[in-house]
Structure 1
Amino acid sequence: MISIFSPALHKQRHQFVIDFVKKNKPRRVADLGCSECRLLKQLRFHREVQLLVGLDTNGAKIKKNMHGLAPLSTDYLQPTYNQLRVELYQGSVTQRDARLRGFDLVTSIELIEHLTLTDLEHFSAVVFGYMTPVSVIISTPNSEFNVLLPGLSGFRHSDHKFEWNRAEFQSWALKVCSDYGYEVEFTGVGEAPQGQQDSVGFCSQIGVFYRLKDRDRCSVLAGSDEENVFSYTLLYSVNYPSLHDNNTLRRVLVSEVLYWAEQLKNRWIEEKSGGRNGDFTRCQTVGSVPMEGKKAACEEKMDGPVNYGGRCDNFFWRNDPNQESGTLNSYVSVPLAVMWSWCPKVRELSESLGNLRHLLMDEPQVKLSQDGSAVLVKYQEQDEEEVSSDLEDSEYSEDSQCSYSVEQEEDWEANV
């Protein structure tokens, strides 16, 4: 069967939700009837969302697809300050669970037509009366469009209990608004051929519900008296890496400090060997967002809050004595004040020079001077080619450095 929609209809429904999320930036989003988690897998990339929840009665399907929601390697290599937690539950939309109350957005994509009319009443009470989300997106087949679907006889899916026309859907939606204090806008996806839109409408009709402001106050009062019910089974949960987590912050900061300490040491060696002039340039972290109108990385001269002079000799030295062992080791000492002043990413992560010293104090990968004021990097004379090769192969090289049940599918749609 040849598809009559491009993009495919289920992709258009998901894109509708994604566009809504981009515009309204909800922090807590729940997808009811998440099935294979396709919509959730797209929403996780919109980092304004801090809590992403999926619910479906089919636990086996969730377990089969849940690992596709695990953080990517880039999430660990380039963590940001954005926070995201993903939770997947097995349960019925006709049952209450306190963990899904008060969300910013709840979606129900091609779900309600799989419910009996009795269960649909429970669904309305649970979603609009108990969960009380700020907004709800519900899509369902528009039966008026069925005459245009090639090869279709009867309902679009064998499990459908009903398929409403536009008037029936709107009548149900307006009653929900009246009963639970919402207002609704009607739209859809899957446009009819030119000249037939008015007569048949969209292939999938959509209602976007918004909680009324008067209901906001009522929800707060009602919420304090509600019994905490936990009827869903948690099958999967994961926290994405975030710089708000102290362990993640330390890992990224140590990576930045070691990288720039090595960079500064190598530039000092180049200057000592005559490979550079006396104008030592300011560091710009590779991978950080460049500021408009600023020069590229390491092109502008130092203008930070701590000025140690133009040449490296003013703030780098060798042969730092190790008082504990009584030996004299050969190091290049990079003052933390210089690194904090010159390297924007280090400054951003540490927030203050004192905090930078505190965060590095107990890190085994970082060797500090006796008074904790500088990072000590082993001095090794290398020619320019060796230094370049080492940097390219290192995990801190400039090229690799890191600044730190979708809906039930209709039988009719399966082949299009």
Structure 2
Amino acid sequence: MAYRESAAVADLGCAECTLLSRLKFCNCVEVLVGVDTDLELLKEKMYRVSPLPCDYLQPRTSMLTVSLYHGSATVKDSRMLDCDFVSCIELVEHLNISEVERFSEMVFGYMSPAVVVITTPNADFNPLLPGIMRFRHWDHKFEWSRAEFQAWSLNIGNKFGYKVEFTGVGKGPLGTEQLGFCTQVSIFLRQLSEAPRIETKHSKQLYKLVYEVVYPSLKDKKIQQDIVLNEVIYAAECVRRQIINTRYDDEGQGAENWNQNERGSAQIDDSKREKTFKPKDSKRLEVCKIDGKLHIPLINLFSMPKVQQLSGSFQRLEEILQVTDRVVLSRCGAFLLYPADDDRNED
């Protein structure tokens, strides 16, 4: 089946937002949704899905919206209908058996995402865990054996049109392979290329929004403009520094020749040297110094990988530079005018 390039991911029973805090770094994810019944825990841990300073310095190439909801995975909310991937990590065992059926209908019948991943403790493995009398956690309502979990998963898959694959996490010591993994995992893959149409006119938004944030992205034209300008100014400064270093290197070589030969035989024509500078890349145009300004061809700036990546196209780079007062362009618009002051004592 085909999947979208960008994905909306929901983590039901997100608890401490551990999974969400890792998924936010995936560029293919544009929507992250967390749902949990513990309101205080969501408020305490929501900082884990907040943007970091680096997210503003280096914005994502794609959009990302993170939302945390207080609600139950057994309750239908229309905001959950567009999810492509749903994870339920150690969730089902916290539900009463009567709630498991509502959970199944909510996730597979109502949300109907392309992929669902469900993990739950493997009761067969419990004898290997010291101190386990019945269940691994006081709030567990049940813990399935491998046979029980696989039977439930296959039944759900047949009912809602999903192929099921089984795996697990956490191997036991040698000689206990027959007990399986510590945590058992079902991966459900929807067989239909598109989710079935569901009547949603009576659907309500029953979850309470606790936290929502939109990450800075290069798809935001204002953010893209600021980041591109920063990179262009940095690139122009690198060009200026390169010219200064080249000049001082050449002057040093001239002084050495002066001592070896007669004065004047190795004089450097500084007026010509300051007028033009040609980068090592012969495909680039000359950088000229006129009236104390470096005339840096825009095509040179666009040839720099970071500038090209951020702006996307030469036309977009021109548009950004033409509408800002942070840089000055030549009258023809083909050159960036940048101060050529080469005072080595400057900060």
1:333 aligns with 2:295: yes
User: What is the CA deviation profile of residues 59-117 of structure 1, one whole-angstrom value per residue up to 9, with x for unaligned ones?
Assistant: 21111111121222222222342332222111110111122224222111111111111
Counterpart contact for 1:36–1:62, Cα < 8 Å? yes
Aligned to 2:289: 317
Matched ranges for 1:76-155 at <5 A: 76-155=56-135
Q: 1:177 to 1:355 in 2, by over 3 A?
A: closer
Aligned to 2:219: 244
Give, in angstroms, the shift of residue 332 of structure 1: 3.1
Matched ranges for 1:379-398 at <5 A: 379-383=340-344, 386=345, 390=347
Q: Give the 3-state SS of the residue equivalent to 1:68 in structure 2.
A: helix
Matched ranges for 1:167-186 at <5 A: 167-186=147-166
Matches of 2:129 and 2:315, distance apart in 1: 68
The two structures have a TM-score, normalised by structure 2, of: 0.83
1:209 aligns with 2:184: no
| Aligned AA (2:215) | Y
Aligned to 1:19: none
**Paired positions, count:** 322
**RCO higher in 1 or 2 (8 Å CA, sep ≥ 6)?**
1
Structure 2 unaligned regions, length at least 5: 254-272
Give, in angstroms, the shift of residue 195 of structure 1: 2.0
Q: Give the 3-state SS of the residue equivalent to 1:107 in structure 2.
A: strand
Structure 1 unaligned regions, length at least 5: 1-23, 283-300, 309-314, 320-329, 391-416
CA RMSD of aligned residues (A): 2.7
Give, in angstroms, the shift of residue 25 of structure 1: 8.2
Counterpart contact for 1:81–1:244, Cα < 8 Å? yes
Counterpart contact for 2:30–2:64, Cα < 8 Å? yes
Counterpart contact for 1:189–1:205, Cα < 8 Å? yes
Q: Give the 3-state SS of the residue equivalent to 2:289 in structure 1.
A: coil
Aligned to 1:46: 26
Aligned to 2:335: 374
User: What is the CA deviation profile of residues 289-329 of structure 1, one whole-angstrom value per residue up to 9, with x for unaligned ones?
Assistant: xxxxxxxxxxxx2243x534xxxxxx41332xxxxxxxxxx
Matches of 1:97 and 1:378, distance apart in 2: 58
> Greater strand share, 1 or 2?
2
The two structures have a TM-score, normalised by structure 1, of: 0.70
Q: 1:351 to 1:303 in 2, by over 3 A?
A: farther
Counterpart contact for 2:13–2:89, Cα < 8 Å? yes
| Aligned AA (2:211) | Y
User: What is the CA deviation profile of residues 221-250 of structure 1, one whole-angstrom value per residue up to 9, with x for unaligned ones?
Assistant: x23666443221222222222222211211
